[in-house]
Protein backbone atom coordinates (compact mmCIF):
# COMPACT_ATOMS: atom_id res chain seq x y z
CA UNK A 1 0.00 0.00 0.00
CA UNK A 2 1.26 3.47 -0.96
CA UNK A 3 0.31 6.35 1.32
CA UNK A 4 0.48 9.88 -0.09
CA UNK A 5 0.29 12.92 2.18
CA UNK A 6 -1.19 16.09 0.75
CA UNK A 7 -1.38 19.68 1.98
CA UNK A 8 -4.23 21.94 0.88
CA UNK A 9 -5.99 24.98 2.39
CA UNK A 10 -8.70 25.13 4.96
CA UNK A 11 -11.89 25.96 3.09
CA UNK A 12 -14.56 23.70 1.60
CA UNK A 13 -13.32 24.73 -1.83
CA UNK A 14 -9.78 23.74 -0.88
CA UNK A 15 -10.24 20.36 0.75
CA UNK A 16 -13.66 18.83 -0.01
CA UNK A 17 -12.98 18.18 -3.74
CA UNK A 18 -9.66 16.55 -2.89
CA UNK A 19 -11.19 14.23 -0.31
CA UNK A 20 -13.79 13.05 -2.82
CA UNK A 21 -11.28 12.83 -5.68
CA UNK A 22 -8.98 10.76 -3.46
CA UNK A 23 -11.77 8.27 -2.77
CA UNK A 24 -12.66 8.00 -6.46
CA UNK A 25 -9.02 7.72 -7.49
CA UNK A 26 -8.56 4.76 -5.19
CA UNK A 27 -11.87 3.22 -6.29
CA UNK A 28 -11.42 3.69 -10.04
CA UNK A 29 -7.67 3.84 -10.65
CA UNK A 30 -5.33 2.89 -7.86
CA UNK A 31 -6.74 0.73 -5.04
CA UNK A 32 -3.17 0.46 -3.75
CA UNK A 33 -2.91 4.22 -3.07
CA UNK A 34 -4.24 5.92 0.07
CA UNK A 35 -4.25 9.74 0.23
CA UNK A 36 -4.49 11.80 3.40
CA UNK A 37 -4.86 15.59 3.51
CA UNK A 38 -3.81 18.28 5.98
CA UNK A 39 -4.99 21.89 5.73
CA UNK A 40 -3.35 25.28 6.23
CA UNK A 41 -5.06 28.65 6.65
CA UNK A 42 -5.91 30.92 3.75
CA UNK A 43 -3.13 33.29 4.81
CA UNK A 44 -0.58 30.47 5.08
CA UNK A 45 -1.63 29.29 1.63
CA UNK A 46 -0.20 32.50 0.20
CA UNK A 47 2.69 32.95 2.62
CA UNK A 48 3.99 29.64 4.01
CA UNK A 49 7.33 28.50 2.48
CA UNK A 50 6.77 25.71 -0.03
CA UNK A 51 10.25 24.26 0.62
CA UNK A 52 9.26 23.45 4.20
CA UNK A 53 6.03 21.78 3.08
CA UNK A 54 7.94 19.73 0.49
CA UNK A 55 9.92 18.09 3.28
CA UNK A 56 6.77 16.51 4.71
CA UNK A 57 4.18 16.22 1.92
CA UNK A 58 4.00 14.40 -1.40
CA UNK A 59 1.36 16.69 -2.96
CA UNK A 60 1.14 20.42 -2.24
CA UNK A 61 -1.48 22.94 -3.32
CA UNK A 62 0.38 26.18 -4.14
CA UNK A 63 -0.11 29.80 -5.19
CA UNK A 64 1.60 30.65 -8.49
CA UNK A 65 3.95 33.41 -7.19
CA UNK A 66 5.86 30.65 -5.37
CA UNK A 67 7.01 28.83 -8.51
CA UNK A 68 10.11 30.95 -9.04
CA UNK A 69 11.57 30.45 -5.60
CA UNK A 70 10.43 26.80 -5.46
CA UNK A 71 12.13 26.12 -8.79
CA UNK A 72 15.39 27.66 -7.58
CA UNK A 73 15.24 25.54 -4.42
CA UNK A 74 14.64 22.34 -6.38
CA UNK A 75 11.76 21.28 -4.13
CA UNK A 76 9.08 20.56 -6.78
CA UNK A 77 8.87 18.03 -9.61
CA UNK A 78 8.88 19.20 -13.24
CA UNK A 79 5.60 17.53 -14.16
CA UNK A 80 6.26 17.18 -17.89
CA UNK A 81 8.77 14.47 -16.95
CA UNK A 82 5.94 12.37 -15.47
CA UNK A 83 2.85 13.42 -17.44
CA UNK A 84 2.24 12.74 -21.16
CA UNK A 85 2.69 15.61 -23.60
CA UNK A 86 -0.85 15.16 -24.93
CA UNK A 87 -2.27 15.67 -21.43
CA UNK A 88 -0.23 18.84 -20.94
CA UNK A 89 -1.39 20.15 -24.31
CA UNK A 90 -5.02 19.67 -23.27
CA UNK A 91 -4.39 21.51 -20.00
CA UNK A 92 -2.87 24.44 -21.86
CA UNK A 93 -5.60 24.53 -24.50
CA UNK A 94 -8.31 24.45 -21.83
CA UNK A 95 -6.74 26.82 -19.33
CA UNK A 96 -9.08 29.51 -18.04
CA UNK A 97 -7.07 32.66 -18.57
CA UNK A 98 -3.38 32.26 -17.71
CA UNK A 99 -4.04 29.66 -14.97
CA UNK A 100 -2.01 26.84 -16.54
CA UNK A 101 0.87 29.05 -17.69
CA UNK A 102 1.11 30.68 -14.26
CA UNK A 103 2.72 27.46 -12.98
CA UNK A 104 5.22 27.34 -15.84
CA UNK A 105 8.68 28.68 -15.05
CA UNK A 106 11.92 28.39 -17.01
CA UNK A 107 10.09 26.26 -19.57
CA UNK A 108 8.98 23.65 -17.02
CA UNK A 109 5.53 22.94 -15.60
CA UNK A 110 5.56 22.90 -11.79
CA UNK A 111 1.84 22.43 -11.05
CA UNK A 112 -1.53 21.68 -12.65
CA UNK A 113 -4.27 24.31 -12.37
CA UNK A 114 -6.92 22.32 -10.50
CA UNK A 115 -8.62 25.56 -9.35
CA UNK A 116 -9.09 28.85 -11.23
CA UNK A 117 -9.92 32.26 -9.80
CA UNK A 118 -9.36 35.97 -10.20
CA UNK A 119 -10.58 39.03 -8.40
CA UNK A 120 -14.14 39.71 -9.56
CA UNK A 121 -17.15 41.77 -8.45
CA UNK A 122 -20.06 40.36 -6.43
CA UNK A 123 -23.49 41.53 -5.32
CA UNK A 124 -26.75 40.56 -3.64
CA UNK A 125 -29.31 40.64 -6.48
CA UNK A 126 -32.22 40.94 -4.04
CA UNK A 127 -30.69 44.11 -2.56
CA UNK A 128 -29.32 45.50 -5.81
CA UNK A 129 -32.84 45.74 -7.20
CA UNK A 130 -32.95 47.49 -10.60
CA UNK A 131 -29.57 49.23 -10.33
CA UNK A 132 -27.01 48.77 -13.11
CA UNK A 133 -23.78 47.05 -12.21
CA UNK A 134 -20.81 49.46 -12.10
CA UNK A 135 -18.44 49.29 -15.05
CA UNK A 136 -15.97 51.91 -13.81
CA UNK A 137 -14.83 53.27 -10.43
CA UNK A 138 -16.90 56.44 -10.70
CA UNK A 139 -19.96 54.19 -10.89
CA UNK A 140 -18.79 52.39 -7.75
CA UNK A 141 -18.42 55.64 -5.80
CA UNK A 142 -21.84 56.80 -7.00
CA UNK A 143 -23.42 53.49 -5.97
CA UNK A 144 -21.81 53.65 -2.51
CA UNK A 145 -22.98 57.24 -2.01
CA UNK A 146 -26.59 56.57 -3.00
CA UNK A 147 -27.37 53.34 -1.12
CA UNK A 148 -30.13 53.56 1.49
CA UNK A 149 -29.37 53.70 5.21
CA UNK A 150 -28.01 50.44 6.57
CA UNK A 151 -26.68 49.30 3.20
CA UNK A 152 -23.03 49.55 2.20
CA UNK A 153 -20.44 48.50 -0.30
CA UNK A 154 -17.87 46.07 1.11
CA UNK A 155 -14.27 45.49 0.02
CA UNK A 156 -12.01 42.87 1.65
CA UNK A 157 -8.92 44.93 2.56
CA UNK A 158 -7.09 42.96 5.23
CA UNK A 159 -3.34 43.25 4.52
CA UNK A 160 -3.17 40.33 2.06
CA UNK A 161 -6.26 41.37 0.12
CA UNK A 162 -5.47 45.09 0.26
CA UNK A 163 -2.29 44.27 -1.64
CA UNK A 164 -4.15 42.02 -4.08
CA UNK A 165 -6.65 44.78 -4.88
CA UNK A 166 -3.86 47.35 -5.12
CA UNK A 167 -2.08 45.15 -7.68
CA UNK A 168 -5.31 44.66 -9.66
CA UNK A 169 -5.80 48.41 -9.82
CA UNK A 170 -2.18 49.00 -10.81
CA UNK A 171 -2.40 46.43 -13.60
CA UNK A 172 -5.69 47.85 -14.84
CA UNK A 173 -4.23 51.35 -14.89
CA UNK A 174 -0.72 50.57 -16.10
CA UNK A 175 -1.08 47.30 -18.01
CA UNK A 176 0.21 43.80 -17.34
CA UNK A 177 3.85 44.88 -17.43
CA UNK A 178 3.44 47.77 -14.97
CA UNK A 179 5.61 46.12 -12.30
CA UNK A 180 9.34 46.64 -12.87
CA UNK A 181 11.09 43.57 -11.47
CA UNK A 182 14.20 45.65 -10.83
CA UNK A 183 12.60 48.82 -9.45
CA UNK A 184 9.11 47.89 -8.25
CA UNK A 185 5.98 50.02 -8.68
CA UNK A 186 5.96 53.11 -10.96
CA UNK A 187 4.89 56.14 -8.95
CA UNK A 188 2.17 57.40 -11.29
CA UNK A 189 0.50 53.97 -11.50
CA UNK A 190 0.78 53.20 -7.79
CA UNK A 191 -0.48 56.58 -6.67
CA UNK A 192 -3.46 56.41 -9.04
CA UNK A 193 -4.38 53.00 -7.61
CA UNK A 194 -4.12 54.25 -4.03
CA UNK A 195 -6.31 57.25 -4.88
CA UNK A 196 -9.12 54.96 -6.04
CA UNK A 197 -8.91 53.05 -2.77
CA UNK A 198 -8.78 56.23 -0.67
CA UNK A 199 -11.73 57.81 -2.48
CA UNK A 200 -13.97 54.84 -1.75
CA UNK A 201 -12.70 53.99 1.74
CA UNK A 202 -14.95 56.37 3.77
CA UNK A 203 -18.01 54.88 2.08
CA UNK A 204 -17.19 51.22 2.78
CA UNK A 205 -18.66 48.84 5.32
CA UNK A 206 -16.76 49.10 8.60
CA UNK A 207 -15.60 45.46 8.42
CA UNK A 208 -13.67 46.01 5.17
CA UNK A 209 -10.19 46.67 6.58
CA UNK A 210 -10.39 43.52 8.72
CA UNK A 211 -11.86 41.14 6.16
CA UNK A 212 -10.63 38.57 3.68
CA UNK A 213 -13.01 37.46 0.90
CA UNK A 214 -14.42 34.52 2.86
CA UNK A 215 -15.25 36.71 5.86
CA UNK A 216 -16.79 39.36 3.60
CA UNK A 217 -18.93 36.85 1.72
CA UNK A 218 -20.03 35.21 4.98
CA UNK A 219 -21.24 38.59 6.24
CA UNK A 220 -22.79 39.43 2.88
CA UNK A 221 -24.77 36.18 2.91
CA UNK A 222 -25.72 36.34 6.61
CA UNK A 223 -27.00 39.94 6.77
CA UNK A 224 -28.47 42.59 4.48
CA UNK A 225 -25.70 45.10 5.19
CA UNK A 226 -23.51 44.64 2.10
CA UNK A 227 -24.97 45.12 -1.36
CA UNK A 228 -21.90 45.01 -3.59
CA UNK A 229 -18.17 44.21 -3.55
CA UNK A 230 -16.07 45.63 -6.42
CA UNK A 231 -12.93 43.48 -6.08
CA UNK A 232 -12.32 40.17 -4.31
CA UNK A 233 -11.41 36.64 -5.29
CA UNK A 234 -14.55 34.86 -6.48
CA UNK A 235 -16.03 31.82 -4.71
CA UNK A 236 -18.71 29.75 -6.42
CA UNK A 237 -19.69 28.39 -3.00
CA UNK A 238 -21.68 31.55 -2.22
CA UNK A 239 -23.54 31.52 -5.54
CA UNK A 240 -24.80 27.96 -5.53
CA UNK A 241 -28.41 26.83 -5.52
CA UNK A 242 -27.94 25.29 -2.07
CA UNK A 243 -27.51 28.77 -0.53
CA UNK A 244 -30.64 30.00 1.23
CA UNK A 245 -33.00 31.92 -1.04
CA UNK A 246 -32.45 35.66 -0.85
CA UNK A 247 -28.89 35.35 0.45
CA UNK A 248 -27.38 33.82 -2.67
CA UNK A 249 -24.64 35.98 -4.15
CA UNK A 250 -24.03 36.71 -7.80
CA UNK A 251 -20.66 37.42 -9.35
CA UNK A 252 -19.75 39.71 -12.23
CA UNK A 253 -16.92 41.35 -14.15
CA UNK A 254 -14.85 43.97 -12.34
CA UNK A 255 -15.21 47.74 -12.68
CA UNK A 256 -12.35 49.21 -14.68
CA UNK A 257 -10.46 52.35 -15.59
CA UNK A 258 -10.08 51.26 -19.22
CA UNK A 259 -13.61 50.33 -20.27
CA UNK A 260 -12.75 46.63 -20.20
CA UNK A 261 -12.67 44.25 -17.19
CA UNK A 262 -8.98 43.55 -17.65
CA UNK A 263 -6.01 42.76 -15.44
CA UNK A 264 -7.78 41.68 -12.26
CA UNK A 265 -5.32 39.74 -10.12
CA UNK A 266 -5.12 36.06 -11.01
CA UNK A 267 -5.59 33.64 -8.11
CA UNK A 268 -6.41 29.95 -8.20
CA UNK A 269 -4.56 26.91 -6.96
CA UNK A 270 -2.00 24.62 -8.53
CA UNK A 271 -1.35 21.00 -7.58
CA UNK A 272 2.38 20.36 -7.28
CA UNK A 273 4.40 17.26 -6.42
CA UNK A 274 7.30 17.34 -3.98
CA UNK A 275 10.70 16.41 -5.38
CA UNK A 276 11.34 14.67 -2.06
CA UNK A 277 8.38 12.31 -2.42
CA UNK A 278 9.17 8.61 -2.53
CA UNK A 279 6.12 8.05 -4.75
CA UNK A 280 6.36 10.72 -7.46
CA UNK A 281 4.71 8.57 -10.14
CA UNK A 282 1.61 7.90 -8.00
CA UNK A 283 1.39 11.54 -6.92
CA UNK A 284 1.60 12.74 -10.54
CA UNK A 285 -1.05 10.22 -11.53
CA UNK A 286 -3.41 11.60 -8.89
CA UNK A 287 -2.72 15.17 -10.06
CA UNK A 288 -3.67 14.12 -13.59
CA UNK A 289 -6.88 12.56 -12.28
CA UNK A 290 -7.87 15.64 -10.24
CA UNK A 291 -7.18 18.05 -13.13
CA UNK A 292 -8.85 15.95 -15.84
CA UNK A 293 -11.85 17.54 -17.61
CA UNK A 294 -14.46 14.97 -16.59
CA UNK A 295 -13.45 15.03 -12.92
CA UNK A 296 -13.27 18.84 -12.93
CA UNK A 297 -16.77 19.38 -14.31
CA UNK A 298 -18.40 16.68 -12.17
CA UNK A 299 -17.15 15.52 -8.78
CA UNK A 300 -14.60 18.33 -8.28
CA UNK A 301 -17.30 20.99 -8.74
CA UNK A 302 -19.98 18.98 -6.95
CA UNK A 303 -17.82 18.72 -3.81
CA UNK A 304 -17.49 22.51 -3.59
CA UNK A 305 -14.46 23.08 -5.77
CA UNK A 306 -13.86 25.84 -8.29
CA UNK A 307 -12.44 24.00 -11.29
CA UNK A 308 -9.52 25.14 -13.40
CA UNK A 309 -10.41 23.29 -16.62
CA UNK A 310 -12.61 25.11 -19.14
CA UNK A 311 -14.82 22.01 -19.48
CA UNK A 312 -16.33 23.03 -16.14
CA UNK A 313 -16.53 26.74 -17.00
CA UNK A 314 -18.58 26.12 -20.16
CA UNK A 315 -20.77 23.37 -18.70
CA UNK A 316 -24.48 24.23 -18.57
CA UNK A 317 -25.03 22.27 -15.34
CA UNK A 318 -22.23 23.93 -13.36
CA UNK A 319 -23.36 27.37 -14.51
CA UNK A 320 -26.99 26.68 -13.65
CA UNK A 321 -26.03 25.52 -10.16
CA UNK A 322 -23.73 28.51 -9.53
CA UNK A 323 -25.91 31.34 -10.78
CA UNK A 324 -23.85 31.57 -13.98
CA UNK A 325 -20.71 32.26 -11.94
CA UNK A 326 -18.43 30.92 -14.67
CA UNK A 327 -20.13 32.59 -17.62
CA UNK A 328 -20.55 35.89 -15.76
CA UNK A 329 -16.88 36.23 -14.76
CA UNK A 330 -15.17 34.61 -17.76
CA UNK A 331 -14.15 37.90 -19.42
CA UNK A 332 -12.43 39.06 -16.24
CA UNK A 333 -10.78 35.68 -15.83
CA UNK A 334 -9.49 35.49 -19.39
CA UNK A 335 -7.91 38.95 -19.13
CA UNK A 336 -6.50 38.52 -15.62
CA UNK A 337 -3.10 39.66 -14.42
CA UNK A 338 -0.39 37.18 -13.40
CA UNK A 339 1.85 38.45 -10.62
CA UNK A 340 5.66 38.36 -10.80
CA UNK A 341 7.08 35.01 -9.72
CA UNK A 342 10.66 35.91 -8.87
CA UNK A 343 12.29 34.94 -5.58
CA UNK A 344 11.54 38.25 -3.87
CA UNK A 345 7.88 38.67 -4.76
CA UNK A 346 6.08 36.33 -2.29
CA UNK A 347 7.66 38.03 0.74
CA UNK A 348 7.25 41.47 -0.84
CA UNK A 349 3.55 40.88 -1.37
CA UNK A 350 3.07 39.81 2.26
CA UNK A 351 4.93 42.77 3.77
CA UNK A 352 3.68 45.37 1.30
CA UNK A 353 0.09 44.38 2.14
CA UNK A 354 0.75 45.54 5.71
CA UNK A 355 1.96 48.90 4.37
CA UNK A 356 -1.15 49.40 2.22
CA UNK A 357 -3.56 48.34 4.98
CA UNK A 358 -1.85 50.61 7.52
CA UNK A 359 -1.95 53.56 5.11
CA UNK A 360 -5.68 53.02 4.58
CA UNK A 361 -6.34 52.79 8.33
CA UNK A 362 -4.39 55.96 9.06
CA UNK A 363 -6.15 57.83 6.27
CA UNK A 364 -9.43 57.52 8.16
CA UNK A 365 -7.88 59.57 10.99
CA UNK A 366 -5.96 61.95 8.75
CA UNK A 367 -2.55 60.51 9.70
CA UNK A 368 -1.64 58.59 6.53
CA UNK A 369 1.56 59.10 4.59
CA UNK A 370 1.08 60.82 1.22
CA UNK A 371 0.58 58.34 -1.62
CA UNK A 372 4.03 59.20 -3.00
CA UNK A 373 5.70 58.31 0.30
CA UNK A 374 3.73 55.05 0.49
CA UNK A 375 4.94 53.95 -2.95
CA UNK A 376 8.51 54.92 -1.99
CA UNK A 377 8.24 52.80 1.16
CA UNK A 378 6.99 49.82 -0.85
CA UNK A 379 9.79 50.15 -3.39
CA UNK A 380 12.43 50.38 -0.64
CA UNK A 381 11.01 47.15 0.75
CA UNK A 382 11.18 45.49 -2.65
CA UNK A 383 14.78 46.60 -3.16
CA UNK A 384 15.77 45.20 0.23
CA UNK A 385 14.22 41.82 -0.62
CA UNK A 386 15.96 41.66 -3.99
The string of DSSP codes covering 32-68 is TEEEEEEEE-HHHHHHS-HHHHHTT-SEEEE-GGGHH
Predicted confidence at residue 118, as pLDDT, reads: 98
Predicted confidence at residue 49, as pLDDT, reads: 86
Q: Where are the alpha helices (DSSP H) in the chain?
A: 12-28, 42-47, 50-54, 67-73, 85-93, 125-128, 137-146, 159-174, 187-200, 213-222, 280-291, 293-295, 301-302, 310-313, 316-321, 325-334, 345-363, 371-385
pLDDT, tens digit (0-9, with 9 covering 90-100), for 286-325: 999 999 999 999 999 999 999 999 999 999 999 999 999 9
- The values of phi and psi at residue 28, to 5°, are -100, -30
Closest C-alpha to 274, from 70, 47, 29 = 70
pLDDT, tens digit (0-9, with 9 covering 90-100), for 182-195: 999 999 999 999 99
Predicted confidence at residue 276, as pLDDT, reads: 96
Q: Which residues pair with 307 in a beta bridge?
A: 115
Predicted confidence at residue 153, as pLDDT, reads: 98
> Whole-angstrom Cα distance, residue 358 to residue 219?
23
pLDDT-wise least confident of 40-44, 168-172, 303-307, 334-338: 40-44
pLDDT, tens digit (0-9, with 9 covering 90-100), for 204-253: 999 999 999 999 999 999 999 999 999 999 999 999 988 766 689 999 99
> Whole-angstrom Cα distance, residue 19 to residue 36?
8
Higher pLDDT, 46 or 263: 263
Higher pLDDT, 328 or 246: 328
Closest C-alpha to 16, from 384, 279, 300 = 300
Can you tell me the mean pLDDT for 104-120?
A: 97
Strand order in the sheet with 250-252: 152-153, 226-233, 119-123, 250-252
When the pLDDT of each residue in the chain is averaged and rounded to a whole number, the result is 95
Q: Which residues pair with 3 in a beta bridge?
A: 34
> Whole-angstrom Cα distance, residue 226 to residue 116?
25
Domains of the chain: 2-117+267-323 (3.40.190.10), 119-265+344-385 (3.40.190.10)
Using 50, 70 and 90 to split pLDDT, how confident is the model at 41? confident
Instruction: Give the number of other Cβ atoms within 10 Å of residue 48's Cβ.
Output: 19
Using 50, 70 and 90 to split pLDDT, how confident is the model at 43? confident
Q: Judging by DSSP bridges, how do beta strands 226-233 and 152-153 pair with one another? A: parallel
Amino acid sequence: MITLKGMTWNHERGYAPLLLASEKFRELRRPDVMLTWDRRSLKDFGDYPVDELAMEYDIILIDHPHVGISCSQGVLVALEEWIPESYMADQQANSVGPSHSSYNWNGRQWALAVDAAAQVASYRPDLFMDRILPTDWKDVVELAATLPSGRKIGWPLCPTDAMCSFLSLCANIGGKSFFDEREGIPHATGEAALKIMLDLLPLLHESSLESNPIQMYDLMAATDEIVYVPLAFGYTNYARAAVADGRRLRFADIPSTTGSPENALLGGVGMAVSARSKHISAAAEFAMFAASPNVQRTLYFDAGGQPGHSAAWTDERTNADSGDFFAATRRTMEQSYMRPRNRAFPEFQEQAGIIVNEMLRKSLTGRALPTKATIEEMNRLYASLL
